Amino acid sequence: MTEKTKSIFAFFVGLALLFFMAVLGLPASSHSEPALKFMPAPPKLEYSIFRTGGLEVAKVFGRTQGCYDADAELIEEVNSAAARTGLDPRIVAATVAVESGCNPLAISSRGAIGLMQIRPAVWCEKYDCTKTYNFLNRHDNVQVGVFILSDLISQYGVQEGVRRYQGIGLGCETCDGQYTEKILRLAGRK
């Protein structure tokens, strides 16, 4: 065999070898990419109260007499209002549970109305109540109550903000001294 014949033969053998390797899915050389590629590990999901907010609201309501049979609409209303303001939904749910026992028609002797027991005489001086709100409507009541609570918590922190939500809580003769502890304990924050 001449050198030229050996070269042609080697060329065709190499070509046939590449063909069979391609059919079998083997790499053509040791420097090529492996036939199997592994996907990178998925990112680890971190727990967020906002992912499970509805469940957390339902848990708080389930631990409270009067709220244990709250409907899905109320749970979602509380959860979405809390998410819009960045509040822990457990604190909002605990506030609803302590204030009204999940009764949207609750009216106190001090003039507090609805689920979050909004006192228009107190809060409308500080917050804009020029819109026509129906505080016996659970949507309006929760939206306004969560806005007030969110503002107080952002100004004073969680503990003091929750305390001030109870009718401003300063020098209040009829205020419950254990109010803040009840809410934070029910919310699982203490």
- Across-strand partners of 113? 107, 118
Is-contact 75 57, C-beta < 8 A? yes
User: For the segment 139-169, what is each residue's pLDDT rounded down to a tens digit?
Assistant: 999 999 999 999 999 999 999 999 888 866 5
Torsion angle of the four alpha carbons 143, 146, 147, 153, in this order, in degrees rounded to the nearest 10: 180
pTM: 0.70
- Residue 161 and residue 76 in one domain: yes
Contacts of 138 (CB under 8 A, 6+ apart): 74, 77, 104, 114, 115
Q: Which domain holds residue 102?
A: 53-186
Torsion angle of the four alpha carbons 62, 158, 174, 111, in this order, in degrees rounded to the nearest 10: -70
Q: Structurally, how many domains does the chain consist of?
A: 2
- Residue 34 and residue 5 in one domain: yes
- Residue 65 and residue 30 in one domain: no
- Residue 86 and residue 167 in one domain: yes
User: For the segment 7-23, what is each residue's pLDDT rounded down to a tens digit?
Assistant: 787 777 777 776 666 66
- Residue 20 and residue 78 in one domain: no
- Residue 15 and residue 84 in one domain: no
- Domain assignment present for residue 25? The answer is yes
User: For the segment 63-120, what is each residue's pLDDT rounded down to a tens digit?
Assistant: 999 999 999 999 999 999 999 999 999 999 999 999 999 999 999 888 899 999 998 8
- Residue 12 and residue 60 in one domain: no
- Domain assignment present for residue 119? The answer is yes
CATH number, residue 156? 1.10.530.10
- Residue 96 and residue 180 in one domain: yes
